[in-house]
Amino acid sequence: MQSDIKKVLYSEEQIKKRVGELAQEIKKDYEGKDLLTIGILRGAVMFYADLVRELDRPLHMNFMALSSYGISSSSSGAVRIQYDLEEDISNKHVLIVEDIVDTGLTLSYLTKTLNSRNPKTLKTCCLFDKPARRKVDFRPDYIGFQVPDVFIVGYGLDFAEKYRNLKYIGELMPEVYK
């Protein structure tokens, strides 16, 4: 697996530090408010677990699964909900936690869908933002790192369901995904 990585972009230590900083921002913004967090399966699992532990406050946790990639290295553009929320979000402060915003199609679709369910507030948090690939006008509320336009894996991010368990973020060798 390591031989498929061209270079490490973010070390385990850099990720841990930035997750802690994001948690501090979020805690400040939601002070005194009940918070419902939604982790997007499967890519955000590592980030989501680390982030909510760092929030160190009462909160509700829920999950959704969406798909726009399948086993391809690029988004199909068609977003579908594979697993929906198990609770009503109306009149709640909701924070969506996602691994990466690439084209913006998935989170744009999801925020429109969830806004129709009448939350009190709805914000998004991603660990990685790749604005060079945007197809829609979407900017997350909380961003961990802005990444270059390269194929990254690790810390939950995958290619064809592999590499999620890497403790760092690495650039995948092009010959692996082309």
What is the maximum alpha-carbon separation in the chain?
Answer: 50
Look at the block and give the residue holding tokens 């955000």.
44
Q: How far is CA 84 from the centre of its chain?
A: 16
Could you list the beta-strand ranges (E) of the chain. Answer: 5-10, 35-41, 60-67, 80-83, 93-101, 121-129, 142-146, 152-153, 169-172
Which pair of structure tokens corresponds to residue 117?
A: 């369910």
102 is catalytic: yes
Selecting among 102, 129, 137, 149, the annotated active-site residue is 102
- Which amino acid is it at 69? Y
Q: Give 65's strand partners.
A: 41, 83
- Which amino acid is it at 21? E
Look at the block and give the residue holding tokens 């850099």.
14
| Catalytic positions | 102
